[in-house]
Chain A
Amino acid sequence: KQEVTQIPAALSVPEGENLVLNCSFTDSAIYNLQWFRQDPGKGLTSLLLIQSSQREQTSGRLNASLDKSSGRSTLYIAASQPGDSATYLCAGDSGGGADGLTFGKGTHLIIQP
């Protein structure tokens, strides 16, 4: 059974800093790895999808990497802004979309102005 762990559980940094959020998973037979953002009381916004044949994806100030052999993914946020404050969730898909995502508990991020 796939298990996903996110470290740290919470993070508070001053505006402008670069930061890294970590995600680890137990089953290396992961197909897709997806990073989401969730604002309080809201649904999830997809940030980046890394498909099985890929090792990283970039979108604006965000970069996510996937290392299946070590069971790890990282989300790098450059030049953080107060609007980046949210909970960040990573989720793994072991079935190529033919199964549900397994989520970590998330990292609660606060960017101090």
Chain B
Amino acid sequence: DTGVSQDPRHKITKRGQNVTFRCDPISEHNRLYWYRQTLGQGPEFLTYFQNEAQLEKSRLLSDRFSAERPKGSFSTLEIQRTEQGDSAMYLCASSLRGSRQGEQYFGPGTRLTVT
């Protein structure tokens, strides 16, 4: 257990529905990242927050994807109008700027299945 938690662990949804995932980082970590991992591939970076500011979002896969971190603590990733191609593992990671700078700790992931 790295201290990063994600909820839910599994989500099955029908095509066209909206889904939201939550990530709780290690409490003192000010940076939070979202990744997507498909079968047989390494994780793919999606977006990044430092405190509540979203500093990188150009890598979100489409405008159906959005993320928030309203108070600089937990974060949510929303996918609107899901498609079968969105089926993947969604991973969250956190890090603390200035301490073993940049080392990222990952949560267990949310596995999304779109039917």
A residues apposed to B, CB below 8 Å = 4, 31-32, 34, 36, 41-46, 49, 51, 89, 91, 93, 96-106
Once A and B bind, how many residue pairs between them come within 8 Å at the CB atom? 76
- Smallest distance from the beta carbon of A105 to chain B beta carbons, Å? 5
Q: A44-B106, A97-B104 are in contact. List 14 more A-B contacts (CB 8 A).
A: A34-B103, A34-B104, A43-B91, A45-B2, A49-B103, A51-B100, A97-B97, A100-B35, A100-B56, A101-B33, A101-B35, A101-B45, A103-B43, A104-B42
B interface residue count range (under 10 / 10 to 19 / 20 to 34 / 35 or more): 20 to 34
Closest to B47 in A: A100
- Smallest distance from the beta carbon of A53 to chain B beta carbons, Å? 11
State the CA gap A89–B41 with chains docked (Å): 10
In the complex, whether B31 has a CB less than 8 A from a CB of chain A is yes
CB atoms of B102 and A102 under 8 A apart? no
B residues apposed to A, CB below 8 Å = 2, 4, 6, 31, 33, 35, 40-46, 48, 50, 55-56, 59, 91, 93, 95, 97, 100-109, 111
- Smallest distance from the beta carbon of B34 to chain A beta carbons, Å? 9
Known: A44-B106, A45-B2, A100-B35. A105 touches B41 (CB 8 A): yes
State the CA gap A103–B10 with chains docked (Å): 23
CB atoms of B106 and A36 under 8 A apart? yes
- What residues of chain A lie closer than 8 Å to B101, measured between beta carbons? 32, 51, 96-97
Closest to A36 in B: B106
- What residues of chain A lie closer than 8 Å to B6, measured between beta carbons? 43
Known: A36-B106, A43-B109, A93-B102. A101 touches B31 (CB 8 A): no
State the CA gap A45–B108 with chains docked (Å): 9
Which 3 A-B pairs rank lowest in CB-CB distance, beginning with the nearest? A100-B45, A103-B42, A97-B102
